[in-house]
Structure formats: C-alpha cells, structure tokens
Structure 1
Amino acid sequence: MEPAIVLSISVGIALVAITAFAIYTSFGPPSKQLADPFEDHED
C-alpha cells in the first residue's frame, strides 16, 4: 500500500475511535458521573 492510503486510513480510524469514545462517555454508563455546572450554580 502507498503511504498516503495508510495515513488516510489511520486518520479515519482515529476519528471514528474518538467519536465512539465521546458518544460512549456522553450517553453510556460513565455519564452518570458527569455534573452539569449550570444546574449547580442556578439562582
């Protein structure tokens, strides 16, 4: 394979992995530990 193809595939996989991790953190089990700072300081 050419280096440009390998680099493109690597960047694509990295983007998909980061997106999947962000979705898992936002909506999965770890989301129970997240705090909303706007609700904490509401007057």
Structure 2
Amino acid sequence: MESPALFYTVFLGCLLLSITGYSIYIGFGPPSKQLRDPFEEHED
C-alpha cells in the first residue's frame, strides 16, 4: 500500500466491525444464556 492513511482506515474499520460483531454475539448468541440481569434480581 502506498498510503499509510488507507491502511489505518481499513485496519480501524475492520477492528470496529469485529468488536461490534463480537458484542452482538455475546449479547444475543448462545453465551447470553449465562448473563444475569441485576434489575430483575432486585425487583419488588
């Protein structure tokens, strides 16, 4: 690559997409069954 700015832009874009995808997987995928909801635990 000739321009380091293009490399950094592509790298940061891929990093952002991978973090977003992993967060969605943890929040809504199979591991979400192990998450607890502190607001439901303390309802009156």
Q: Normalised by the size of structure 2, how large is the TM-score?
A: 0.93
Count matched residues: 43
Alpha-carbon RMSD across the aligned residues, in angstroms, is 0.5
Give unpaired runs (5+ residues) of structure 2: none
Poorly superposed stretches of 4+, deviation over 6 Å: none
User: Identity over the aligned pairs, expressed in percent?
Assistant: 56
Partner in structure 2 of residue 35 of structure 1: 36
Please list every run of 5 or more consecutive structure 1 residues that lacks an aligned counterpart in the other structure.
none
